[in-house]
Amino acid sequence: MRETSTFEGWQESRSKSIQKQQVRYTSAAAQKVTEILSFAGIGVNGSEPWDIQVHDERFFDRALGEGSIGVGESYMDGWWDVQALDEFFTRFRRADLASYVHDLKTALLVLKTRVLNLQTMQRAKEVAQAHYDLGNELYQAMLDRRMQYTCAYWKDAATLDQAQENKLHLICRKLQLKPGMTLLELGGGFGGLAHFAAKEYCCQVVSYNISREQVAFGRELCKGLPVRFEQKDYREAAGETSQFDRVASIGLCEHIGYKNYRQFMQLAHGRLKDQGLFLLHTIGGNESYSYTDPWIHKYIFPNGLVPSMVQLTTAWEGVWVAEDWHNFGPDYDLTCMQWWKNFDRAWPELRASYSAKDAASSTRSVVGDPIYSDRFYRMWKYYLMASAGSFRARRLQLWQIVLSKGDIPSYTPVR
């Protein structure tokens, strides 16, 4: 018989205790939600920092009827709060509480992802407009000085700036970059890697990115360096005839979609010279899905999808040889928490900046809420804390994978 761990024993005891508590709300929905939350040791109006505090009883019906979207939107609307939102999500994700609620909106999203290709070129532009083109002042306030909007590498680092510089060095060392080499970047972000590879490793870089704001920022950043930015979908690189010594894709794979993974792998292979290396940096999931969380889909990353190990290896079968697979998912928890601290610290200035602008011409979020409204603040906090909790619960991973054409004699992993 398997022994019960200390945590499992505490969790079971806590669950029974919560279910025996006098619940202020007596509706069937309230009792059901209370029961489900108790499986993760989360109470309703309890004293633990991860216990939710319900301000509006309509939350219970909304959570059961609309699932992820109902829980997230009711938080955005102030119907419930929790002192430690990151710890709430850690327990929520570790116990897989989402599996206890089956709502129509999620079912329709699953059907849609299986019938349609949600990551076409046109739909990819929706992501850029909804998330990456929100305005650079938001990201300048939240990110490090190099504007890295992907997981930092916290080995021997005490600050976000140092951890992100560690990540850039790690990528360049894994790619074995040398002066004069050419690098193709598929999904260039704000241009941080292109700038770093050109300046620190003396490489020539071509970077593809669909985001107008990010490309403009990158071009300004890399003035005077051998870097060319193409404001194009990564798929348009397939029409190029030139090949590169190295190929890198940092944080793009989450926007590609499972129906396009094979095409992506073949595209990168076609642009890489023989004896070259391809580095893929992506969030990874423990299981294969065709859809993302409905709330994330609606408010943060439209049409996004976290790939699984099976989906990736199936896509590159017969195309690539895996030389190295590095997982440092816990570092993304630290990264998200630092982003949250930076964002929260900058919030008064960001809000004042918005208030000084004409609301009619201000940037809007993906669902039309004004940027820097109270609802946007709660939405952004929910997004960052949900992400941190998912990595802390080990439901999400961060992978850096080095691939070759199988024509190099050996490869020595770098950490």
Domains in the chain (CATH in brackets) are: 1-102 (no CATH), 121-332+395-404 (3.40.50.150)
Give the model's pLDDT for residue 20. 47
Query: Quick one: CA torsion of 78, 134, 142, 95, rounded to 10 degrees?
Result: 50
Amino acid, single-letter form, for residue 382: Y
Instruction: Give dist(CA 171, CA 176) in Å, integer.
Output: 9
* Enclosing H/E stretch for 324: strand 321-327
Per-residue pLDDT of 44-59, as tens digits, reads 999 999 999 999 999 9
Note the pLDDT of residue 356.
63
pLDDT at position 200, please? 98
The helix, strand and coil proportions of the chain, stated in percent and rounded to the nearest 5, come to 50, 15, 35
How confident is the model at residue 5, as a pLDDT? Answer: 52
Gap between the Cα atoms of 179 and 182, Å rounded: 9
Taking the C-alpha atoms of residue 350 and residue 306, their distance in angstroms, rounded to an integer, is 30
pLDDT recorded at residue 14: 52
Residue 321 phi/psi, 5° resolution?
Answer: -110, 125
pLDDT of residue 131: 60
For the entire predicted model, the pTM comes to: 0.88
- pLDDT value, residue 1: 44
What 3-state class would DSSP assign to 279? strand
pLDDT at 11: 54
Residues of the chain with pLDDT under 70: 1-24, 103-134, 355-370
Position 372 scores a pLDDT of 78
Q: How many CB atoms lie within 10 A of CB 161?
A: 16
- The per-residue pLDDT for range 73-96, each reduced to its tens digit, is 999 999 999 999 999 999 999 999
pLDDT at position 390, please? 98
